Amino acid sequence: MSALLRPLSAQGRGRRLVPFAAGTLAGLAFLAVDDPQSGRAAAAQLAAIGVAALVTFAVVLVPWERLPAALECAPAFGIVVAVDLVVAGSDARSVYTPLVTVPLVWFAIYAGRSALAVAIAAADTFLLGGLLVARGPVESGALRAAVLWSIVVTVVPWTVHRIVRDLRHRAALADRDYVTELLSRRAWEERLPDELSRARRDQKPLSIVLFDLDDFKRYNDRHGHQAGDALLRQVALAWGENLRSTDLLARFGGDEYCALLPGCSAADARLRAERLLASTPPGIGASAGVAEWREGEAAESLVRRADRALYQAKSGGGLDAAVAAAPA
């Protein structure tokens, strides 16, 4: 569930379309075999199956992360068009109509309001518009079915979209530390395996840094908890301003912070850690431990090595020992 509620890249949305596209393709193929059509309806069947197959292969093979974000919904619209083609051209419209809901559920979960509205409008246009341009009189049963399905494909996706949006909002609040408004430790630990998988796939380095404020308990005792919380927020703000947009900074707990640095070797991460420590607000010091991910290493092992490096930095003392790196 947490993966579903997490913000997705264009690549993530494209990959999430695979079961929807494959399911639609399987449904279209089954209905074509079970209920073969003739003439215009047969052509619509073949066209729909062809579009669904093309989209299914596209969402698997196309590197969506390299394409403009505006194209991220194009495959899902292709699935809508595929189903609409067969619904509009079939002699047994009611048999195919339920398939319209499959791509609309993807829009409801992963797309924005505008894209969802356009997809619903396209589905409704084919459901109702096909009857309006049909040759000969329209049977009352067909009209009732089209109206009822039009209500279903409008209300259900909007309801799902609102539920997912509310859940994402709650998840976003839960992912934030209430004092510093940084990522919480739980959210950071959930994202770390995903970043390790990406580093493995892209063959790029990745490092983490664990930070610990020096003598924070003494500061807290001397100035009070409110002042301590204010200092934690100041540190978070100062360090956050010195990180890249791709870096993840979180509060690990108490006076500990952690940063995830994609694309950074241990040497690069140490330089970034030193830059962050230099920006620490006056009145408090900090130490840092750096660890670069090893191929095949589990997330827990990477964090343990960074924690050992942090302990080495704190026990070493002196400015030169403020940052320690774990052995590669």
What residues are labeled active site?
Answer: 255
Give the integer Cα–Cα distance in Å for 208 and 328.
Answer: 13
Cα-based angle 215, 240, 290 (whole degrees, multiple of 5): 60
- Can you tell me the distance from the alpha carbon of 86 to that of 71, in angstroms, rounded to the nearest whole number? 24
The 248-253 sheet, strands edge to edge: 248-253, 256-262, 206-214, 285-292, 323-325
Task: Count how many residues are written for the chain.
Answer: 328
Residue 220 to residue 224: CA distance in whole angstroms: 5
H helices, E strands: number in the chain = 14, 5
What H or E segment, with its residue span, contains residue 89?
helix 74-89
